[in-house]
Amino acid sequence: MQPISLQNLSICFQLLMFSCQTQGENQPSPNFNQYVRDQGAVSDQLSRRQIREYQLYSRTSGKHVQVNGKRITATAEDGNKFAKLIVETDTFGSRVRIKGAESEKYICMSKRGKLIGKPNGKSKDCIFTEIVLENNYTAFRNARYEGWYMAFTRQGRPRRASRSRQNQREAHFIKRLYRGQLPFPNNAERQKQFDWRYAVAPALEAAPKPQRGVRTQRDVEPQRQRTL
């Protein structure tokens, strides 16, 4: 048996390295976009959830979304206690759960496309995907019923989700910070109780007029200068 020379060993090693490199090139690279989509469709039970508080301003009704028990409408004024929403992230993506801070009910969607409030928001019909649109509005698509969006009419009533689309005004919202009840809301009775006559600054008040026949300090000063 002839001994193997160093040259033959070097050639075998180079062939082995070339074979491994060729196999690595033939394998497809990992698709991270597909991984993000797959993980975003599954509820994350391990990561810490991010919680935010804000209001949702409806583009059509000109009011804010409110959760008053099982009833969901878009008729609340700015600062209404039922308009304060607690938004919990469901995954590391853009899926969220929306709960009314006052009523502690989650915004969910029935199989008929109607918005209802539920005490437990773990089901998939209570999960929405936030979609930021090109016009800077935000749309909320239900996770269970693909293609169904949260939407409201001009009167603030929920629009049937089966008829709602992403490009419709009824499905467009703006996130606004919750600042609580304003000191003087748009309430006629509250405005009548406030008298603006007492809100004038003291520096702007008119000086009292002197009585007739009474000499003031301003009248005495010129006479002193003439005598001197």
Partners of 99 in beta bridges: 86, 106
| pLDDT confidence of residue 211 | 60
CATH placement of domain 51-176: 2.80.10.50
| pLDDT confidence of residue 91 | 73
- Provide the residue count of the chain: 228
Question: Hunting for tokens 């009585």 — which residue is that?
Answer: 211
Cβ neighbours of residue 101 under 8 Å, at least 6 residues apart? 53, 81, 84, 85, 86
Partners of 117 in beta bridges: 107
pTM above 0.85, yes or no: no
| pLDDT confidence of residue 203 | 45
Say how far apart CA 56 and CA 78 lie, in whole Å.
10
- Per-block mean pLDDT, blocks of 10 residues, the chain (228 long): 57 66 53 51 59 95 96 96 94 86 96 95 94 95 94 96 94 91 49 44 51 58 55
| pLDDT confidence of residue 36 | 47
| pLDDT confidence of residue 119 | 95
| pLDDT confidence of residue 192 | 47
Answer for the pair 191, 199: CB distance below 8 angstroms, yes or no: no
Give how far Cα 47 sits from Cα of 38, 39, 43, 89, 98, Å. 16, 12, 10, 10, 18
| pLDDT confidence of residue 189 | 46
